[in-house]
């Protein structure tokens, strides 16, 4: 870690100095550049298992608060700042027989904890358009996507170096050494997710390293490469093409991602050898958008991803991942903005995903499954309640090798942004 910090610090100064003349950030100051976003979530979760043995239902109700406060940077060629993430998670209702929703940490006896409060700081330095940060992160990258689908966002502890000093090129280096899961009460070592016994357990790794480069090749065309290395477990690479084209007021978007994953070092999770294509084509016309996705895994293993995270692939749903060995899946989706039907503030997204050809370790034969999701959001329009929104997720999942599920999540959300008066 000390070596990583030294290299990152040197790179910060070198790259920042090279690009300072081209794009100097506004010199706002530590307090004048500060901002904070406050979110309150009243969250009810209900997952009803419709087949199989074991727990019949998971249902809990909780209240959460998330404060994301960010300072500006001190003045000078190298500015310093501090970000603070504050989280409070409080149980409102739930019993041991229905625990495990991910809303709340669990005690040793399986009951949900009544409350958890924590603060996660991040120190940062900036020179020109290059930033070095050390502390807690909520990454949203194709190879590392923290789960933010409950009250507490998953965080990773580590160091990142980001730079936009080279025109048209965004660079990211990161090293994460531990994680705090969305339903955790402490930090845990880096590992991988082992759903359906896809790998040989969930061994610890010393670190997860990430490198990312995104290049704007032309207007509407982006190329992205990412590489991730989970020490002694796996190495993963992403090759990504994003194409956006305007046709009058309409827009076509094509996003194709190719993943390559292999075990590395001591191979603590066993042999890993996977290739996957995940793609999405969408067409937006006014307040309507339609999309079609296709995903195919090949190789003798399933595709791994970091423990506690959500896989950043197009056929990932709220209930299932469609990432079994050999699995092939396709998706149809539609979304609408309620303005077009006279209901401003309303938005609806519906999708259907079907998978087949899966070869799970827990099932002798071809695995087949499908999922249907509907996500409805209403943002209140009156001045008094403009920061308030109501979110309803309804999902159905059916499979011949996993338990069938019907799920509902109901969230009342209050979100407000606060900026420094001098900003």
Instruction: Give the residue extent of every domain in the chain.
Output: 2-419
pLDDT grade, residue 423 (50/70/90)? low
| DSSP assignment of 200-228 | S----BS-EEEEEEEEEEETTEEEEEEEE
> Each residue of 134-143: pLDDT tens digit?
999 999 999 9
CA distance 216 to 140: 19
Which two three-digit tokens encode residue 143? 């190879």
Q: Quick one: pLDDT at residue 28?
A: 77
- Percentage of the chain surpassing pLDDT 90? 91
Cβ count near 395 (within 10 Å) = 20
Which two three-digit tokens encode residue 221? 């065309």
CA distance 46 to 407: 6
CA quadruple 43, 44, 48, 54: dihedral sign: positive
> Each residue of 243-274: pLDDT tens digit?
999 999 999 999 999 999 999 999 999 999 99
CA distance 387 to 385: 6
Q: Quick one: pLDDT at residue 27?
A: 63
pLDDT grade, residue 4 (50/70/90)? very low
Q: Quick one: pLDDT at residue 23?
A: 44
Q: Quick one: pLDDT at residue 357?
A: 98
213-245: buried (b, 16+ CB within 10 Å) or exposed (e) per residue?
Answer: ebeeeeeeebebebebbbbbbbbbbbebebeee
| pLDDT, mean of residues 298-322 | 96
Q: Which phi-psi region, left, alpha or beta, contains residue 102 (left: φ > 0; alpha: ψ -120 to 50)?
A: left
Give the residue among 325, 200, 207, 193 at the shortest CA–CA distance from 271.
Answer: 200
21 Cβ contact list (under 8 Å, min separation 6): none
- 3-class DSSP state for residue 22? coil
Q: Which residue has the tokens 């997860």?
A: 208
Contact by Cβ (8 Å): 226, 160: no
Give the residue among 281, 284, 264 at the shortest CA–CA distance from 272.
Answer: 264
| pLDDT, mean of residues 166-191 | 98
CA distance 45 to 102: 9
pLDDT grade, residue 198 (50/70/90)? very high
Within its chain, how far is the Cα of 149 from the centroid?
A: 9
| pLDDT, mean of residues 147-176 | 98
pLDDT grade, residue 420 (50/70/90)? confident
Average pLDDT, the chain: 94
Q: Examine the pLDDT at 8 and tell me if it is beyond 80.
A: no
Q: Which residue has the tokens 């008066």?
A: 421
| pLDDT, mean of residues 51-77 | 96
Q: Examine the pLDDT at 9 and tell me if it is beyond 60.
A: no
> Each residue of 148-162: pLDDT tens digit?
999 999 999 999 999
| pLDDT, mean of residues 30-55 | 96
Report the topology of domain 2-419.
Porin (2.40.160)
pTM equals: 0.92
Contact by Cβ (8 Å): 254, 278: no
| pLDDT, mean of residues 3-32 | 51
| DSSP assignment of 226-275 | EEEEETTTEEEEEEEEEEEEEETTEEEEEEEEEEEEEE-TT-TT---EEE
Phi, psi at 43, each rounded to 5° = -125, 120
Q: Examine the pLDDT at 197 and tell me if it is beyond 60.
A: yes
13 vs 224: which has the higher pLDDT: 224
């Amino acid at each position: 870690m000390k070596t990583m910090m030294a290299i990152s610090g040197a790179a910060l100064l070198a790259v920042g100095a090279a690009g300072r003349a081209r794009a100097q950030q506004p010199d706002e100051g530590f307090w004048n550049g500060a901002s904070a976003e406050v979110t309150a979530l009243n969250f009810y979760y209900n997952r009803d298992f419709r087949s199989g043995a074991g727990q019949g239902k998971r249902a809990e109700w909780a209240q959460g608060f998330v404060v994301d406060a960010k300072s500006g940077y001190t003045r000078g060629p190298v500015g310093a700042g501090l970000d603070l993430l504050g989280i409070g998670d409080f149980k409102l209702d739930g019993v041991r027989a229905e625990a495990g929703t991910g809303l709340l940490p669990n005690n040793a006896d399986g009951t949900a904890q009544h409350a958890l409060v924590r603060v996660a700081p991040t120190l940062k330095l900036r020179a020109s358009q290059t930033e070095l940060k050390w502390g807690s992160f909520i990454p949203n990258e194709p190879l590392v996507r923290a789960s933010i689908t409950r009250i507490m966002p998953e965080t990773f502890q580590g160091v990142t170096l980001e730079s936009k000093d080279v025109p048209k090129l965004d660079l990211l280096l990161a090293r994460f050494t531990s994680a705090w899961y969305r339903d955790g009460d402490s930090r845990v070592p880096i590992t991988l997710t082992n759903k359906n016994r896809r790998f040989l357990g969930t061994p610890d790794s010393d670190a997860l390293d990430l490198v990312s480069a995104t290049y704007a090749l032309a207007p509407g065309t982006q190329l992205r490469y990412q590489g991730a290395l989970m020490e002694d477990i796996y190495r993963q690479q992403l090759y990504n093409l994003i194409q956006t084209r305007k046709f009058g007021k309409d827009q076509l978007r094509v996003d194709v991602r190719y993943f390559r994953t292999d075990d590395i070092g001591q191979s603590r999770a066993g042999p890993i050898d996977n290739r996957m294509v995940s793609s999405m084509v969408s067409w937006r016309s006014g307040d309507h958008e339609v999309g079609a996705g296709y995903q195919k895994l090949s190789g003798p293993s399933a595709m791994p991803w970091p423990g506690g995270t959500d896989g950043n692939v197009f056929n990932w749903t709220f209930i299932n991942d469609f990432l079994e060995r050999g699995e092939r899946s396709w998706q149809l989706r539609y979304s609408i903005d309620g303005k077009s039907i006279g209901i401003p503030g309303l938005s609806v997204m519906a999708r259907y995903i079907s998978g087949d050809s899966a070869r799970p370790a827990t099932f002798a034969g071809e695995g087949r499954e499908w999922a249907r999701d509907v996500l409805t959001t209403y943002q209140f329009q009156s001045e008094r309640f403009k920061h308030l929104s109501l979110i309803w997720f309804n999902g159905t999942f059916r499979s011949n090798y996993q338990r069938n599920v019907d799920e509902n999540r109901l969230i009342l959300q209050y979100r407000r942004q606060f900026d420094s008066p001098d900003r």
